[in-house]
Structure 1
């Protein structure tokens, strides 16, 4: 099959996060199975956009801010022509759809081209009641309803999307995220440093402030441990720096900026623990990637995969309070048997439930049957 995927942004700093990683991972696996694949996107970075991401051909245009919003209003007029030509040759169009101009344009072009298309919302389409969102949805929602199917991650996302598109919408089909279990072999490995890692956008929902508060509590018990935050700043960096100063954590907690995908994998493999304090995180790719790298994970009970990870003993699931996360980090760092059990269970969870091979099997079935 000729497969065309559309995602809003590819960038050097990985700012768009999970949807971009998911799209490239799906297409890489589909390419290994003999499908002809193309990824369409905007590009943001100091250098020219790459022609490929791994084995995936990439067609991009520079991101331009046409309307307010970090991602909502970015677009490039020439991307419309790229979509028109690429979708015209496609057997299947797959749109990783948020509420933004790129997604809206992709939905419109696929509809005008009379293409068989699917959407995948990655937790980005939820009920919104502000006037601007309601006006946008007058165009956006009718186009979403034209999809052959909408791929969702969790039951929570299913309910949210159903509320937005209503009963006349397309079938809502469950599709998990996945990684290649082999990825951990590609990462430079060495002695584990006593480093605890936060890797997400510095956004209030990701709770980097809770990570710093956790670091302060762990530091009292284990003063040799270091803590690092990586991710694009979305307003919380001043708070992070204020808390570092308030707790006198200079040299203990540091901010390393955003990382490329390859750099992020290496950082996860080096870390002793990966902590994701986010609330209502639908299905974080960083957690799956950390498990694949053999890095123990501490997350909150509102994470979309928390129940599965807890059932398997593959992560330490907490209530999200700094005290609970600090206790979990200390346990992982001081109990080698606990740590080894988490690593084994995490890798088993990736192989059995979060492997890109299983995801691609399901995706091929969806493409062919609908």
Structure 2
């Protein structure tokens, strides 16, 4: 199959979606398919240092970058639009990522024009908590193109059953399927020696690390986390909160205000974005991973923590919460600081339980979230859609 994926950006600062698309496309390329990504060179206020228009290759996947233009918040790129018009007819199927962006307008239009089946991946934008934000602007885009995109898509791609349930009121009963995000298990086969991360930050010596590993963003529940951590500081004076992740929107300044108001400054460490061996080191050395998000489409960082053997505490708005709870790989709490504090204190007091959760978490991820397995399932979904589209076209030709 010739498969085209379209996404607004691939810079690491954008977190899960950019990481997920690379794993997804690589798994398909390894199965012998011709896979291409069209995207922009957007990287926050700057741009990626990548060749424009010309194809580059990574892990068997062809990637083409196009210049970002104003308004950047919309992922605007007329170079991308021109390329989509030219190349979409050459593909068997097109897979678009996220909603309410420039590439959705363009790719949906040309897929319909040239009769190419396309899949829309909402990336959590149809979760009611996110759906209601900036409603006026979104309503205009829905009227202009997004409702049409959803109604006429061959399918919607969800990463959890929870996401599909939450999105149902806004999808016009469009067909959907669930294929999760995954991890490359080989990346986690050999982890850095214990103590590697603490050596970088001497203030963590002898401390229990409570780890927040995600973008600093309004939806991540950092207000809940800071309040909950304040509630347990006297019960667990040896606990130290590590906040690791990019701060694309200067949300960290607000978080630091909350920390200062509660006199927690000497108990919280900001590392910024960590990658490579340092990422693996902090994930495996953490005593507890926490993510109290108000909305989380999947939560790839949760999976990364679990494969490193770290127990997790997540909110019931992180859409893989049911799976985590069912496999006893972590604890789940509502978006409430009292409940989060209670669960946090309980887990930090029971090292045996945390070790058991860590082992169950590794087994859980290895069984369900390997990109190799996910590539097989996604391939089957593509084949079904392509065959259905061909059958419809044959019927239409026969009628004519």
TM range (shorter): 0.7 to 0.9
Counterpart secondary structure, 2:126 = coil
Does the alignment pair 1:218 with 2:224?
no
Shift of 1:155: 4.2
Deviations 1:195-253 (A, max 9, x none): 22212332222111222223323332333332122232436323311122122222321
Q: Structure 1 residues 48 and 276 mapped into 2: Cα distance closer, same or farther (>3 Å)?
A: same
What is the distance in 1 between the residues matched to 2:126 and 2:100? 7
Say whether the 8 Å CA contact 2:192–2:277 is kept in structure 1.
Answer: no
Structure 1 gaps, min length 5: none
Give the structure with higher Rg (CA). 2
Provide the residue aligned with 1:180 in structure 2: 184
Q: Structure 1 residues 318 and 117 mapped into 2: Cα distance closer, same or farther (>3 Å)?
A: same
Q: Structure 1 residues 107 and 268 mapped into 2: Cα distance closer, same or farther (>3 Å)?
A: farther
Provide the residue aligned with 1:274 in structure 2: 289
Provide the residue aligned with 1:316 in structure 2: 331
What is the distance in 2 between the residues matched to 1:224 and 1:86? 58
Query: Larger deviation: 134-143 or 315-324?
Result: 315-324
Does the alignment pair 1:79 with 2:94?
no
Say whether the 8 Å CA contact 1:111–1:143 is kept in structure 2.
Answer: no
Q: Structure 1 residues 243 and 288 mapped into 2: Cα distance closer, same or farther (>3 Å)?
A: same
Say whether the 8 Å CA contact 2:77–2:102 is kept in structure 1.
Answer: no
Q: Structure 1 residues 166 and 12 mapped into 2: Cα distance closer, same or farther (>3 Å)?
A: closer
Q: TM-score, normalised by structure 1?
A: 0.87
What is the distance in 2 between the residues matched to 1:261 and 1:145? 41
Say whether the 8 Å CA contact 1:179–1:354 is kept in structure 2.
Answer: yes
What is the distance in 2 between the residues matched to 1:42 and 1:26? 18
Q: Structure 1 residues 260 and 106 mapped into 2: Cα distance closer, same or farther (>3 Å)?
A: farther
Does the alignment pair 1:303 with 2:318?
yes
Query: Larger deviation: 172-181 or 27-36?
Result: 172-181
Deviations 1:296-334 (A, max 9, x none): 211012321212211211111123333333343344444
What is the distance in 2 between the residues matched to 1:18 and 1:187? 21
Say whether the 8 Å CA contact 1:49–1:60 is kept in structure 2.
Answer: yes
Counterpart secondary structure, 2:265 = coil
Provide the residue aligned with 1:150 in structure 2: 156
What is the distance in 2 between the residues matched to 1:292 and 1:213? 28
Say whether the 8 Å CA contact 1:152–1:174 is kept in structure 2.
Answer: yes
Query: Larger deviation: 342-351 or 199-208?
Result: 199-208
Query: Larger deviation: 304-313 or 107-116?
Result: 107-116
Q: Matches of residues 156-171 of structure 1 in structure 2 within 5 Å?
A: 156-167=162-173, 169=174, 171=175
Q: Structure 1 residues 76 and 265 mapped into 2: Cα distance closer, same or farther (>3 Å)?
A: farther
What is the distance in 2 between the residues matched to 1:276 and 1:283? 12
Say whether the 8 Å CA contact 2:27–2:374 is kept in structure 1.
Answer: no
Q: Matches of residues 1-370 of structure 1 in structure 2 within 5 Å?
A: 1-13=1-13, 15=14, 17-45=15-43, 47-49=48-50, 51-52=56-57, 54-66=59-71, 71=73, 73-125=74-126, 128=132, 130-138=135-143, 139-167=145-173, 169=174, 171-185=175-189, 187-191=191-195, 193=198, 194-229=208-243, 230-234=245-249, 236-259=251-274, 264-370=279-385
Deviations 1:64-99 (A, max 9, x none): 3326xxx4x221211113323443332221111321
